[in-house]
Amino acid sequence: MAEHITLIYAGKEFRLPLVTGSEGEKAIDISLLRRDTGLITLDPGYANTGSCKSAITFVDGEKGILRYRGIPVEQLAERSTFKETAYLLINGELPPQKELTRFSVLLNDHSLVHEDMKTFYQNFPRSSHPMGILSAMVNALRSFYPELQDLDEETTITVTRLLSKVRTMAAMSHKISRGHTVVYPRSDLTYCANFLNMMFDSPVKPYEIDPDVVKALNVFLILHADHEQNCSTAAVRVVGSARVNLYAAISAGIAALWGPLHGGANQAVIETLGEIARSGNLHQMIARAKDRRNPYRLMGFGHRVYKTFDPRARIMKRMAHVLLDKLNLSDPLLDVARELEEIALKDDFFIEHHLYPNVDFYSGIVLKAIGIPINMFTVLFAIGRLPGWIAQWKESMDDPEWKLCRPRQVYSGPHERPYVPIEER
């Protein structure tokens, strides 16, 4: 007999099925709750609500586990590339060499952006944030690249087009914002090396590609490629449930990621380090963060999901120290970061409250060491999260239990009352 739980309400018993995931996690199926009982559940922030079944990513926050399609993220970060990881997330399996080569060719073929799109970039105010521009431009891609006739061909080309063009568009936005000549993608460079070259190459100072910097960017993108049903992924699924095109769904994900409590956290980390450096009193800032009565927060510490050390943070920490040691950078913010990390890892308050440095703390340091401008940090996160969004959208499109997302609410407004004519108000 299938497992269930019993709900007793108004003197009646209702049996609610239990659903068991492949890793043993259990969920109560409440899909018929309102029909059978007239009740709905109330769960602000959806912290206890599962919105779907998914075979893409497994997270165990208590044990510090993150796996893509069953493969530990530690193994992917050490041995894989972002391109291969993207293929894994979207297609479910690691590609054989022939398929990976085909995937690489498609990414190369679709790496150029329509020249008319430059006009859009040039008409955004110079002060525009790159995330706002990227969200708008991804939505605009649908106008430049209409749907094809064959559904399978359309999906494959749309996916590779997005993965390749978003990288190019991100580099373009940086170059145009600075008034510099746009650097075009090169067919002889890997995915990450290409992005770095488009960002930093110039006619007067050719960019020298450092394999350790390329590796660091690969690791950063892999670690951010998917993370279960987070805010931006949920946005992609919710918008996608209306059966919009992939570009519109991804645009929604970018907008959600922009927030400082989500993807913008790595930018907030550097801004926090800057604030500490300007104050010149690290210990005072730590005391403020530890004071429950003080709303001040140290960005980059703790995580809503992980109650132990974020597994991504361990990997990013190693990458950060490799880069800092090799590049021998002199930067007061990076000095503050190292001192803050050392204090936090030994402080009883931080340890007791599970406020370990998270992936945003170390990724902010890595991106700054690479030379990525602070306002581009979240854009890099978006490039990394793109294959996860695509995989989640694709999975939801193929879901036989698909439904248009339409949450309920508990109304807390006034009772029925008459309209009052304006002369009587």
Among the residue ranges 91-100, 149-158, 311-320, the one predicted with the least confidence is 149-158
Residue 422 lies in a domain: no
Do 56 and 84 lie in one domain? The reply is no
Rg (CA), the chain: 24
Mark whether 359 and 322 lie in a shared domain. yes
Q: Give yes or no: residues 53 and 153 share one domain.
A: no
Contact between 374 and 275 under an 8 Å Cβ cutoff? The reply is no
Is the model's pLDDT at 134 over the cut of 80? Answer: yes
pLDDT at 307 over 90: no
Q: Do 95 and 153 belong together in one domain?
A: yes
Q: How confident is the model at residue 222, as a pLDDT?
A: 97
pLDDT score of 365: 86
Same domain, 50 and 87: no
Q: Which band of pLDDT confidence, cut at 50, 70 and 90, is reported for residue 329?
A: confident
Same-domain status, 305 and 231: yes
- Asked if 302 contacts 352 with a C-beta cutoff of 8 angstroms, the reply is no
Nearest CA-CA partner of 81 in 101, 66, 58:
101
pLDDT of amino acid 147: 64
Which of 143-147, 211-215, 305-309, 400-404 is predicted most confidently?
211-215
CATH of the domain at 386: 1.10.580.10
38 and 166 co-located in one domain = no
- The residue-averaged pLDDT of 192-209 equals 95
- 213-234 confidence digits (pLDDT tens): 999 999 999 999 999 999 999 9
Count: domains in the chain? 2
User: pLDDT over 70 for what percent of the chain?
Assistant: 98
| Residue at 321 is within a domain | yes
* CA pair distance 197, 2, nearest whole angstrom: 57
Mean pLDDT over 293-307 rounds to 79
Nearest Cα residue to 199 out of 371, 330, 80, 77? 371
Statement: the pTM of the whole predicted model exceeds 0.85: yes
Residues 369 and 391 in one domain: yes
Higher pLDDT, 108 or 347: 108
133 lies in the same domain as 43 = no
Q: Which of 18-32, 75-89, 173-187, 276-290 has the lowest mean pLDDT?
A: 276-290
Do residues 43 and 87 share a domain?
no
Same domain, yes or no: 146 and 257:
yes
**CA dihedral of 41, 45, 46, 52, whole degrees rounded to 10:** 130
Domain that holds residue 376: 73-401
112-120 mean pLDDT: 86
What local confidence, expressed as pLDDT, does residue 176 receive? 86
Q: Which residues are catalytic?
A: 303, 360
Average pLDDT, the chain: 90
Last residue of a domain, one of 33, 60, 87: 60
In a domain, 425, yes or no: no
Q: Which two tokens mark 277?
A: 């450096």
The mean pLDDT of 205-214, rounded to a whole number, is 94
Residue 416 lies in a domain: no
Would you say residue 46 has pLDDT above 70? yes
Sign of the four-CA dihedral 260, 118, 247, 221? negative
Confidence of residue 153 (pLDDT cuts 50, 70, 90): low
Confidence grade of residue 415 (pLDDT, cut at 50, 70, 90): very high
Q: Are residues 32 and 99 in the same domain?
A: no
What percentage of the chain has pLDDT greater than the value 90? 59
125: which 2 tokens? 């105010």
Instruction: Please indicate, yes or no, if residue 410 is contained in any of the structural domains.
Output: no
Cα of 282 vs its chain's centroid, Å: 30
What Å distances lie between residue 414 and 35, 41, 48, 408, CA to CA? 26, 21, 29, 18
pLDDT higher at 82 or 2: 82
Least Cα distance to 229 among 54, 6, 354 occurs for 54
Q: Which residues lie closer than 8 Å to 139 by C-beta, 6 or more apart? A: 247, 248, 251
CA 3 to chain centroid = 35
Maximum average pLDDT range among 176-185, 269-278, 299-308? 176-185
CATH number at residue 18: 2.20.28.60
Question: Which of 18-32, 81-95, 280-294 has the lowest average pLDDT?
Answer: 280-294
**pLDDT of the residue at 260:** 84
221-278 pLDDT tens trace: 999 999 999 999 999 999 999 999 899 999 999 999 998 888 888 888 888 888 888 8
Residue 408 lies in a domain: no
pLDDT in tens, 277-289: 888 888 888 888 8
- In a domain, residue 423? The reply is no
Assigned domain for 274 exists: yes
